Structure formats: C-alpha cells, structure tokens
Amino acid sequence: MTSDEHADQTITRPTRLTLFGRTFLPWQAWRFAAINLKMIGIIRRSHRGQRSH
C-alpha cells in the first residue's frame, strides 16, 4: 500500500450537512450575523466599566 492509498483511506469526507452549510448562502448570512452579534456583546461587556472623559 502506498502512502497515497493510505491517505485516501484515512481522510474524513464532509457530511451532506457540512457541505450544505458551506454552500447555502442564507445559512452563511445567518451565521455571520450571529457571530457578529455575539462579538458586539462581548466587546460591550468588556467596555462596560471603562469611561473616557
């Protein structure tokens, strides 16, 4: 068995759900919005006690 044949047997293939998530634009837009809202919340909490005058 060559190393290429061995690599072909050990590489995992993406599932149908994974491929769907990578190619379905509405899902990508939803995830983009959710991640950005989460980051905004984290940044707001980190700046909560800081006041600049």
5 in a structural domain: no
- Four-point Cα dihedral 47, 48, 52, 53, nearest 10: 170
How many Å from the N-terminal Cα to the C-terminal Cα in the chain?
Answer: 70
Higher-pLDDT residue of 35, 8 = 35
49 in a structural domain: yes
| SS3 call for 14 | coil
pTM for the complete prediction?
0.61
User: In terms of residues, how long is the chain?
Assistant: 53
8 in a structural domain: no
At 23, list the tokens.
């190619």
26 in a structural domain: yes
Tens-place pLDDT, residues 21-50: 999 999 999 999 999 999 999 999 999 877
